[in-house]
Chain A
Amino acid sequence: MITRIRVHWTILRISIEERLIYRADFALGTLLRFMPIVTTILLWQAIFNGVSPTSDSSKETTIDSYRFSDMVSYYLLVMLGRAFSSMPGLASGIAQDVRDGTIKKYLVQPIDLLGFLFWSRVAHKLIYYLVAAGPFAIMFILCHSFLPGWPDAGTLIGAIVALILGFIIGFLFEATVGLISFWFLEVSSLLFIVMMLNYFLSGHMFPLDLLPGPIRSVILFLPFQYLAYFPAKVLLGQLTPSELFQGLVVQVLWVIGLFFLARFLFSRGVRRYSAFGG
């Protein structure tokens, strides 16, 4: 047990050091991540301007119960959710390792691939929050007039749990996609498309409850909503306690399901693996 903790701690430390080597790349990435929010605010401003005002002029224009400020808050909170759940380079890293044969270092050493990647992701995220805390704080202060104010303690705890589970789901999902490269060596375009689909299905593009009924129920059935939409809804205070609890339970179930799927794919993949690159 202690040895395992020590192994994980070592992985964490090495990864933090590795992350800091490429800090220019990293800082630029963090900065760029804030650019889309500006265009999104402007787009929704234009959309809200186009909606014909309600007959009662004292009421603010709404789109399906979202006021303009709710919409902006939604996107800001989605950014927070994505800060936990997005895993840039994880799947493509696995695919690269499979293709060029580097992956065999995990097969000959007593280190588990998924465990190693998980702890190095944790390190990655910790450094990320350190770098991103500044930009996030600035963004939230600049936009504080749109935000709904602090949620109560229960909601806050629920939101933190939802974000952490979102991180794990994001990790397991990306790892699963990466492990597909055992079957298809060339997966670069698949990864790009998964990223784009994820953007839509996680609610990053727009709040999923704007969708018409049947499509919405299908999409809310998938695990993607827990990567962005669900935590944002929790923080917006738009969920009842029972909805929040139910959501968290489903998240845990997804974590378990994806965990076994990733393990299964890995053990099957290793059996297929033919060690390219000598």
Chain B
Amino acid sequence: MNFLERSTKRPSYWRVWLTFARNSLVREMSFRANFLITLATRLLWFCSMMIFFKVVFLKTRQINGWGEYEYFAFMATGMIINSLIETFFMANCTNFSEQIRTGNLDFALLKPIDAQFLISLEKIEWSVLSNLLFAGGLLFFSLHKLGIHFGITEMLVYLGFIGVGVSVFYSIMLVLTSASVWMGRNRGLHEFWFYVTVFSRYPRNIYQGSLGLPIYYLLSYCIPILLVVSIPAESLANRKVYDPHLAIVFICTSLACLFISRLIFNYALTSYRSASS
């Protein structure tokens, strides 16, 4: 095969992704101390969250229809979604704003592969994935305490909703990162992210009253941040507040989010003026 033929061939995205995965693993293994620190401190954070709600549930029996173990299942779901986001996308998005600032984005745009694919998936933080173990443990413990028995179908529905939730978060993150093209620098993406996800941290049905309801409608039907964790958690652990109508809204809006975020990302790239070259 000569060079021309090879270069016009469509790249195999799956194989490229596997290479990303392998490179990231090698990279992380060379910073082993960091890997261990991540593991240990994750556990600490996990404990502090547990302590907070343990304290709350010492004072009250339920929060708007969520008892202690239902709530822990909710928390576990939130952690699963967040650790997937952090593992696969967070580092890339942080890197993106840095690439814009330094002008290194030129090199990414020159490669014969979809820019969004390359930019948002290049680095994988495998160590964060260890969080899934804690979260999974907490989830099964809570389900056991609640006496909930589930089959393959319930699990598949739950995992499907998790996938939908991850895609919503991914879209929002992509839009936030794209914004750095216009803002010049976006160093605090981690911090921004913290403030955006704060809305998904508590069950959707605490958003009540004159203050809560506008947020509820906006963040359920337009940008479904409130549903990201609530819908999967309700579908598995809290059937009495689960609403199938909202689940459909969730799936539809997530598709819209993916589509719109791609548009915004591509539009942002057209406004990119290479720096320092």
* CB-contact partner of A184 in B34, B48, B62, B192, under 8 A: B34
Give residues 17-42 of A contacting B (CB, 8 Å).
21-22, 24-25, 28-29, 32-33, 35-36, 38-39, 41-42
Q: How many residues on B have C-beta within 8 angstroms of the other chain's C-beta atoms? A: 51
Does A47 belong to the interface (CB within 8 Å)? Answer: yes
* CB-contact partner of B63 in A46, A187, A215, under 8 A: A46
Is B183 in contact with A39, judged by CB distance below 8 angstroms?
no
* CB-contact partner of A211 in B42, B51, B195, B212, under 8 A: B51
In the assembled complex, how far is the CB of residue B44 from the closest CB belonging to chain A, in whole angstroms?
Answer: 6
Complex interface: chain B residues within 8 A of A52 (CB)? 60-61
CB-CB under 8 A for A45 and B206, given A88-B188, A190-B34, A206-B52: yes
Complex interface: chain A residues within 8 A of B42 (CB)? 193
Does B252 belong to the interface (CB within 8 Å)? Answer: no
Does A197 belong to the interface (CB within 8 Å)? Answer: yes
Complex Cα spacing A36 to B171, Å: 21
Q: A36-61 vs B: 1/0 string, CB under 8 Å?
A: 10110111011101111000000000
Does A157 belong to the interface (CB within 8 Å)? Answer: no
Complex interface: chain A residues within 8 A of B55 (CB)? 206, 210-212
Complex interface: chain B residues within 8 A of A197 (CB)? 41, 44-45, 48
Q: B10-39 vs A: 1/0 string, CB under 8 Å?
A: 000000000000000000000101100110
Q: A94-124 vs B: 1/0 string, CB under 8 Å?
A: 0000000000000000000000000000000
Complex interface: chain B residues within 8 A of A211 (CB)? 51, 55
Complex interface: chain B residues within 8 A of A194 (CB)? 41
Which residue of the partner chain A has the closest CB to B206? Answer: A46
* CB-contact partner of A25 in B48, B184, B206, under 8 A: B184
Q: How many residues on A have C-beta within 8 angstroms of the other chain's C-beta atoms? A: 48
B113-121, B150-158, B196-204 - interface stretch: B196-204
Complex Cα spacing A89 to B185, Å: 12
Which residue of the partner chain B has the closest CB to A183? Answer: B33
In the assembled complex, how far is the CB of residue A32 from the closest CB belonging to chain B, in whole angstroms?
Answer: 4
Complex interface: chain B residues within 8 A of A189 (CB)? 34, 37-38, 125, 127-128
Residue positions of B touching A, CB distance < 8 A = 31, 33-34, 37-38, 41-42, 44-45, 48-49, 51-52, 55-56, 58-64, 91, 94, 125, 127-128, 182-188, 190-192, 194-196, 198-199, 201-202, 206-209, 211-212, 215
12 sampled A-B residue pairs with Cβ under 8 A: A35-B195, A36-B195, A45-B208, A45-B212, A50-B62, A52-B60, A185-B31, A188-B91, A189-B128, A190-B37, A192-B190, A197-B45
- A50-B61, A189-B128, A193-B42 known, 7 other contacts, Cβ within 8 Å: A25-B188, A29-B191, A35-B199, A187-B34, A189-B37, A193-B44, A200-B51
